[in-house]
A = this chain, B = another copy of it.
Amino acid sequence: MNTPAFPLPAAARLRIVLVGTQHPGNIGAAARALKTMGLARLVLVAPEQFPADEAFRRAAGADDLLAAAGVVATLAEAVADCRYVLGCTARSRRVQLEEFEPRQAAAQAVAMAADGEVALVFGRERTGLTNEELQLCHAAVHIPANPEYSSLNLAAAVQVLAYELRLALREQSPPAAPDNRHPDEAPASHAQLEGFFAQLGQTLDEIDFHKGRTPDSAMRKLRRLFLRAQPSEQEVRLLRGVLADAQRMARLAEGRG
């Protein structure tokens, strides 16, 4: 249909289908949600108003998806070539479909897209999918919501599923390691940390921090605090620079006292 922004082939076999959407703004917002997650294929089944300025306005920079969107008359047409169809529902108990949460659904959709066309279908804002439409689906997706107020906006539901699809697509490629420190900064070695702690102990003496109390307790607490932070080499150098200046002041004060 068009070129997916996501560099993995499975994404090219995933389409999002919006059935009977009432508000064109929601179509635009859904297109934006898809594009932010690297998905590109949108099919509209009998939208109430489309094309519409409001849809393009809400799509922001995702108007290319809207321009390329297919428009068909029935869900059956929209999914005719699909090997796997997932239908989003607030509650699917009406038809006894297998029901997934978004994370499972995304994993399933991406696995199926490895060798066939897959559709993720969203119903009308107020009334969702009809029973007849759900019967075209292989399984249902249910976003776990507050039982007292479960009405997600249509584009918000699309965003949640598109987000899970992106994570599932990414898992096919090696995941990025969690990055808790600046990428260029190596963690300080044990010896570097001990060098810092030795200088910290000297500094506490020189600024007369202990005032006759036993120094062990304060040093133990400070060690625990700094070890918890897992400083980088660069951070240890910075801290030792601060200590050096405090020591310089203490020596000045003493020398001239």
A68 interfacial by beta-carbon distance below 8 Å = no
Contact of A144 (CB < 8 Å), options: B100, B148, B166, B253 = B166
Among residues of B, the one whose C-beta sits closest to the C-beta of A157 is: B159
Asked if residues B153 and A29 are in contact (CB atoms below 8 Å), the reply is yes
Residues of B near A224 (CB, < 8 A) are 180
Task: Give the contacts of A129-168 with B (CB-CB under 8 A).
Answer: 143-146, 148-153, 155-156, 159-160, 163, 166-167
* Among listed A81-89, A110-118, A201-209, interface-contacting one: A201-209
Contact of A146 (CB < 8 Å), options: B38, B208, B249 = B38
A112 to chain B, nearest CB (A): 15
In whole angstroms, how far apart are the Cα atoms of A227 and B242 in the complex? 18
* Among listed A12-20, A41-49, A228-236, interface-contacting one: A228-236
Contact of A249 (CB < 8 Å), options: B152, B234, B235, B253 = B253
Residues of B near A121 (CB, < 8 A) are none
Asked if residues B146 and A32 are in contact (CB atoms below 8 Å), the reply is no
A33 interfacial by beta-carbon distance below 8 Å = yes
Residues of B near A152 (CB, < 8 A) are 32-33, 36, 159
Among residues of B, the one whose C-beta sits closest to the C-beta of A40 is: B146
> A-side interface residues toward B, CB under 8 Å?
5-6, 29, 32-33, 35-38, 60-62, 96, 98-100, 102, 104, 143-146, 148-153, 155-156, 159-160, 163, 166-167, 170, 178-182, 203-204, 206-209, 218, 221-222, 224-231, 234-235, 238-239, 241-242, 245-246, 248-250, 252-253, 256-257
A-B contact pairs, 7 of them (CB 8 A): A5-B149, A29-B156, A102-B163, A156-B156, A228-B229, A229-B229, A249-B252
A181-B228, A209-B241, A221-B235 given; 12 more Cβ-contact pairs under 8 Å: A5-B146, A32-B152, A36-B156, A60-B151, A144-B166, A178-B228, A209-B242, A209-B245, A226-B229, A246-B250, A249-B252, A253-B253
